[in-house]
């Protein structure tokens, strides 16, 4: 049986970072993945240019049942550290929007960089390889794979979440967690479009393709998320960055609230316009939202497009204003893992060390990246978590393996 210090399962963002760090500290590392193509999620990310981090990343940008868990790893490996690595590899990047950093060239440059980092440490690649069974004898792990058995003093699970099964996402990490006595926080699609029943969405289906800046929120109290971002109407429901962000805060059968005129008191604006202008309501609304939406909105509220503001009762304008400032919709569901960028929930962080990502149940077992119950906002945060948790576990697993090798 081939023997290693550390086995990492999952050669995605977190797994490659972890393997590179551990191998460069002198440990013998094997990196295993079942997919034919390397790091497919990095490849397709950020529209092919990988939004690899966010310069404003802080713990508040992450959701978890244990919100403080991500703090330590994020503080010890920051966006600046990743930028220093990019500089070393001459990877060019630019900022797009709200601290979101993207590659100038394709996301392949990030994959190539991580591959070079692994090769610099002498990582042994095993892919495509399937792991059938994992055993632990109290000190070392044995992995039965379709390419033979492997032994390792430390095992890192970096197999990601459930989103986009067609490019290799599996529940492997969750199964390993359960095998070793870990509990899971319920998983569900996040950063995902929201859908409605065809009856509920019928008045808006014709507006598919329309996009506008809004303020959008979901959830309550400490678990509420509110974002100023674009809303996109689709033929089945709502999408766009604002919706993807709040989808992580949305729970089944709860509403989402949308302010279609962010920064404007819509009721006051309508009443003032009534007093001071001879405009038609349709013309006024179309100055604030796309004309097709203004038309549909007035039709839904049974107000004629060409009605003069001066002729409309205050109560009608108040009702219109309230509906524009607080469009309350209850989605029937989401587009699911087929379209979700990430998985919310995962391995319960209360059973992991926040400094090392090591299991509190089994010494030498680590969970990193998206398989853990830490979910970032849209905008480069999820990769920052993958890098930071990968570095934390890479260093710690190397220490652990050194201890096992020296009998310490």
Encode burial over 36-70: b for 16+ CB neighbours within 10 A, e otherwise: eebbbbbbebbeebbbbbbeebebebbbbeeeebb
Q: Which of residues 384-403 bind ligand FDA (CB under 6 A)?
A: 386
Distance of closest approach, residue 72 Cβ to ligand FDA, in angstroms:
18
104 vs 254 by CB, closer to ligand FDA:
104
**11 sits near ligand FDA (criterion: CB under 6 A):** yes
32 vs 401 by CB, closer to ligand FDA:
32
Distance of closest approach, residue 173 Cβ to ligand FDA, in angstroms:
7
* Six-digit token string for 360: 């509190």
Distance of closest approach, residue 320 Cβ to ligand FDA, in angstroms:
38
Helix %, strand %, coil % for the chain, to 5? Answer: 40, 25, 35
- The string of DSSP letters for 133-157 reads EEEE-SS-EEEEETTEEEEEEEEEE
Q: Which of residues 138-197 bind ligand FDA (CB under 6 A)?
A: 158-160, 163-164, 168, 170, 172
Out of 266, 289, 342, 365, the residue judged to bind ligand FDA by CB under 6 A: 342
Out of 5, 6, 7, 15, the residue judged to bind ligand FDA by CB under 6 A: 15
Structural contact between residues 248 and 191, judged by C-beta atoms closer than 8 angstroms:
yes
Category of 357 on φ-ψ map: left (φ > 0), alpha (ψ -120 to 50) or beta:
left
d(CA 195, CA 232): 12
Q: Which stretch binds ligand FDA (CB under 6 A): 32-40, 69-77, 228-236, 400-408?
A: 32-40
For the window 350-379, what string marks contact with ligand FDA as x by the rule CB under 6 A? -------------------xx---------
Binding residues for ligand FDA, total number by CB under 6 A: 36
Out of 85, 131, 309, 320, the residue judged to bind ligand FDA by CB under 6 A: 131
The total of other beta-carbon atoms located within 10 Å of residue 356's CB is 19
**12 sits near ligand FDA (criterion: CB under 6 A):** yes
33 vs 259 by CB, closer to ligand FDA:
33
- DSSP SS3 for 2: strand
152 vs 309 by CB, closer to ligand FDA:
152
**64 sits near ligand FDA (criterion: CB under 6 A):** no
Distance of closest approach, residue 256 Cβ to ligand FDA, in angstroms:
22
Distance of closest approach, residue 17 Cβ to ligand FDA, in angstroms:
8
Distance of closest approach, residue 9 Cβ to ligand FDA, in angstroms:
5
Q: Which residue is nearest to ligand FDA (CB)?
A: 12
Helical pair 79-88 and 381-405, crossing angle rounded to 10 deg: 80
Q: Which stretch binds ligand FDA (CB under 6 A): 35-43, 64-72, 79-87, 135-143?
A: 35-43
Contacts of 361 by beta carbon, 8 Å cutoff, 6+ apart:
180, 181, 182, 351
Farthest CA pair distance, the chain: 87
**44 sits near ligand FDA (criterion: CB under 6 A):** yes
**77 sits near ligand FDA (criterion: CB under 6 A):** no
Q: Which of 170, 173, 94 is nearest to 365 (CA)?
A: 173
Contacts of 222 by beta carbon, 8 Å cutoff, 6+ apart:
none
**346 sits near ligand FDA (criterion: CB under 6 A):** no
Number of H helices and number of E strands within the chain? 13, 21
Helical pair 108-121 and 13-24, crossing angle rounded to 10 deg: 30
* 237: phi then psi, degrees, rounded to nearest 5: 165, -135
Q: Which stretch binds ligand FDA (CB under 6 A): 31-39, 57-65, 233-241, 260-268?
A: 31-39
Q: Which stretch binds ligand FDA (CB under 6 A): 46-54, 110-118, 292-300, 317-325?
A: 46-54
Q: Which of residues 268-287 bind ligand FDA (CB under 6 A)?
A: none
Distance of closest approach, residue 353 Cβ to ligand FDA, in angstroms:
18
Rg (CA), the chain: 25
Structural contact between residues 376 and 342, judged by C-beta atoms closer than 8 angstroms:
yes
Residues of the shown chain interacting with ligand FDA in the complex, contacts defined by CB under 6 A:
9-15, 32-35, 39, 41, 44-46, 50-51, 131, 158-160, 163-164, 168, 170, 172, 341-342, 369-370, 380-383, 386
């Amino acid at each position: 049986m081939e023997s290693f210090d550390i086995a990492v399962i999952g050669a995605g963002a977190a797994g490659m970072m972890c393997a590179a760090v551990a191998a460069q500290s002198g440990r013998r590392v094997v990196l295993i993945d079942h997919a034919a193509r390397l790091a497919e999620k990095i490849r397709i990310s950020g529209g092919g240019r990988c939004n690899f981090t966010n310069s404003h990343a802080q713990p508040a940008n992450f959701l978890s049942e244990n919100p403080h868990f991500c703090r330590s790893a994020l503080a010890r490996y920051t966006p600046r550290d990743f930028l220093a690595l990019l500089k070393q590899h001459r990877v060019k990047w630019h900022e797009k929007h709200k601290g979101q950093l993207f590659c100038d060239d394709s996301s392949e440059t990030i994959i190539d960089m991580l591959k070079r980092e692994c090769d610099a440490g002498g990582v042994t690649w095993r892919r495509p390889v399937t792991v059938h069974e994992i055993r632990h004898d109290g000190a070392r792990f044995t992995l039965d794979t379709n390419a033979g058995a492997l032994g390792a003093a430390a095992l890192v699970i970096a197999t990601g979440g459930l989103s986009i099964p067609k490019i290799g996402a599996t529940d492997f990490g969750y199964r390993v967690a359960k095998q070793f006595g870990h509990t899971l926080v319920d998983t569900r699609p996040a950063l995902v479009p929201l859908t409605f029943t065809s009856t509920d969405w019928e008045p808006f289906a014709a507006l598919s393709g329309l996009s506008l800046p809004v303020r959008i929120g979901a959830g309550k109290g400490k678990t509420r998320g509110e974002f100023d971002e674009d809303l996109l109407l689709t033929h089945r429901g709502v999408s766009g960055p604002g919706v993807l962000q709040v989808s992580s805060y949305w729970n089944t059968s709860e509403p989402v609230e949308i302010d279609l005129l962010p920064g404007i008191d819509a009721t006051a604006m309508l009443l003032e316009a009534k007093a001071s202008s001879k405009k038609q309501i349709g013309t006024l609304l179309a100055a604030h939202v796309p004309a097709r939406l203004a038309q549909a909105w007035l039709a839904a509220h049974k107000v004629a497009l060409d009605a003069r503001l001066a002729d409309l009762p205050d109560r009608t304008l108040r009702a219109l204003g309230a509906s524009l400032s607080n469009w309350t919709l209850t989605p029937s569901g989401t587009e699911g893992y087929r379209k979700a960028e990430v998985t919310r929930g995962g391995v319960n962080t209360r059973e992991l060390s926040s400094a090392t990502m090591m299991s509190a149940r089994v010494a030498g077992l680590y969970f990193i990246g998206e398989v853990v119950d830490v979910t970032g906002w849209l905008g480069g945060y999820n990769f920052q978590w993958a890098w930071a948790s990968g570095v934390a576990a890479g260093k710690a697993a190397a220490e652990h393996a050194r201890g096992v090798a020296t009998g310490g």
